[in-house]
Structure 1
Amino acid sequence: MDDEIQALKKNDTWVLLDVKNAFLHGFLNEEVYMEQPPGYTDPQFPQHANSSLFVYHSSLGTVYLFLYVDDMVITGSNTSMVQTLITRLFKEFSMKDLGDLHYFLSVKVQGNEKGLFLSQTKYALDLLQRVSMIDAKPISTPFVVSQHLSAEGKLFSDPTMFRSLAGALQYLTITRPDLSFSVNFICQFMYAPTEDHSRALKHILRYVKGTPHHGLQLHKQSTRDFLTYSDANWAGCPDTRRSTTGYAIFFGANLVSWSSKKQSIISHSSAEAEYHSLAVVTADIAWIIQLLQDLYVTPLALPKILCDNQSAIFMDVNPVNRPRSKHIAIDYHFVRELVANGTLKVTFIPSYLQLADSLTKRLSFFIF
């Protein structure tokens, strides 16, 4: 498997294909199943339905096929296996070879000496053009640091437009972790946006105007170690006093998952808020590890979470400390058991080195 992973790193074959006749007919005579039909359920995978990612693995290598409607991306650790699959697809379907992967689902894929650079420059510029802000004056931060938005204030005159733009910005966060906190924050007011919320949204768009070429670098030469930064902003919401969870998960040098989200419960202390964040990120790590196993990629080292709250870490390693409130008790047992059985490690990191800090609060700069 190690040889296979190295081959995948060296292989730069990413092929984009298109099925020509996908939408020639408006009506289908065939039955289309959104779930497995009765009598044909796979006994080993009864919940599996129509997949977007297909994986073929053998002793010679692994091939991955990602399908979205009529477009597909193919890559793998063995170039000849990739070509064999493409040849068979062309025999079965009317296909069009679009060449090397360069643009997929509004994401530009650009190869460089490090690996792949993902960006949404055209999507960002189209969004600015849509709201007549293509010539807006750019700014250096996505949020006014001193601004504290709440649900109170004069209602915005066009809430439909606000919701549409906020949703469009959400899609931009696919390659822009620097937008995650600010976009998540304004999306919390979509039910009744105010004029202050509208100004905050325009502030984000002005930041996008100055950073349209920002994106996400994926490194082909990297380790297979998990390193996660977990943070929480205690009682940061002025209306509900709920905390914000922020985390960034690195697989080697690659940022593979990040989040900025208001917690669903009210925490009574900063340690409780931080511990709830640990539970959330632990669940995400477990899901990513399972996904990697499905891709026949195995992490080499114990996943490590970096937290800047000593009390939360103490709760992980101290078997005497038993939280009594129900929601924190569930989080406690979930994380504590993984730490105790050696599946997970939680380590302290000083606040000034906490990368997830920019995913939980307003900062004058982005630290990724």
Structure 2
Amino acid sequence: MEQPPGYVDSRFPNHVCKLKKSLYSLKQAPRAWFHRFSSFMLRLGFLCSRADTSLFVLIRSSSIIYLLLYVDDIVVTGNDDALLRDFIQRLHREFATKDLGPLSYFLGLEVSSSATGLFLSQAKYAHDILARAQLLDSKPYLTITRLDLAYAVNSVSQYMQSPTVDHFQAVKRILCNVKGTLHYGLSFSHSPPTSILAYSNVDWAGYPDTHCSTSGYAIFLGENLVSWSAKKQPTVSHSSCEFEYRALALMASEVTWLSHLLRDLKVSLNHRPLLLCDNKSAIFLALNLVSHKRAKHIDLDYHIVRDLAASGAIQPQYVPSHLQ
């Protein structure tokens, strides 16, 4: 580290300081803090999730504790109040922490708990966006709880580097929708997570300037929607089979990650994940280890859906468009 102003050694003005420990704001500080915190958690018997390294899980017989870390913000929950209190006391002794009580606000997410389940919304964050002058500098963070905004936000985000008046008008229309729907959010019921059900669909050649397609999927855990996406495909597809197959592969990757996360959370499913697509050719390509001239050019990484289907990890299945 360079010598700080006011403390420069006049004999060696060009020398630098060798630090004995990490300092705040250094690029190594986040890594050092995570190593410090994770070492403490591992000593207590927690396991670090492979699917998400910020998730720690402690299992004691039938008791379980989940802890989620984001920088220095922590969410912790469990099914054993005594074990939870003991852990929080240890956490207080090890670090300078403050208990804010039941979860109500975390990283822009407002959490409301009721007898029927949880409700997540981002009304405050939406208010902040509406009050901000430089609207185009806003991040698409609101789409975390607003599936209805995902496609529109994805479309205008393509032009953030060089926006025009037309793009600004499109953003204003999105914000008008946000202003009238501030109370929208996500509801999670207490229904048991017995299975994963995933739907995929594609807007073929929806971008008139590039003719690229947009992949979309929605993934349900039991009755609850837990993951979704609207993303522009990187290349132009030659057929409906190809762009649906690419969308299926993108969804299969997300389902695989979600399955690994549930395994780390010790949540078991009664059935293997079911992936639904409205294109029979894409389903046939996923379930059969065959190759033909119209699919030879598809990149190998998209064949992950075929490998997962062959191993029994997922089950691709056709569904008519009107049932999606």
If the length of structure 2 is used for normalisation, what is the TM-score? 0.81
Deviations 1:161-200 (A, max 9, x none): 35313x2xx1111111111000010000111111111100
Deviation (angstroms), 1:321: 4.3
**Aligned position for 1:8:** none
**Aligned position for 2:231:** 261
Match of 1:182, SS state, is helix
- Which structure is richer in relative contact order (CA contacts within 8 A, separation 6 or more)? 1
Deviation (angstroms), 1:68: 2.5
Deviation (angstroms), 1:52: 2.7
**Aligned position for 2:157:** 187
Conserved 8 A contact 2:287-2:310: yes
Match of 1:248, SS state, is strand
**Aligned position for 2:98:** 96
Conserved 8 A contact 1:109-1:117: yes
Match of 1:98, SS state, is coil
**Aligned position for 2:146:** 176
Cα distance, 1:323–1:110 mapped onto 2, change above 3 Å: farther
Matching of residue 346 in structure 1 with residue 319 in structure 2: no
Match of 2:66, SS state, is strand
Conserved 8 A contact 2:249-2:303: no
Which among 271, 275, 283 is matched to residue 305 of structure 1? 275
% same residue:
48
Deviation (angstroms), 1:320: 3.8
Match of 1:97, SS state, is coil
User: Over aligned residue pairs, what C-alpha RMSD do you find?
Assistant: 2.6
Segments of 5+ residues of structure 1 without an aligned counterpart are: 1-27, 132-160, 355-368
Matching of residue 34 in structure 1 with residue 31 in structure 2: yes
**Aligned position for 2:131:** 129
Cα distance, 1:199–1:293 mapped onto 2, change above 3 Å: same
Conserved 8 A contact 1:228-1:304: yes
If the length of structure 1 is used for normalisation, what is the TM-score? 0.72
**Aligned position for 2:111:** 109
Structure-2 separation of matches of 1:196 and 1:56: 52
**Aligned position for 1:164:** 137
Report the AA paired with residue 82 of structure 2: S
**Aligned position for 2:73:** 71
Structure-2 separation of matches of 1:68 and 1:337: 34
Moved more, 295-304 or 28-37: 28-37
- Equivalent residues in 2 for 1:1-368 (5 A)? 30-31=21-22, 32=29, 34=31, 51-131=53-133, 161-165=134-138, 167=139, 170-322=140-292, 325=295, 327-328=297-298, 330=300, 333-354=303-324
Structure-2 separation of matches of 1:278 and 1:51: 26
Instruction: From the CA coordinates, give the structure whose radius of gyration is larger.
Output: 2
Cα distance, 1:312–1:96 mapped onto 2, change above 3 Å: same
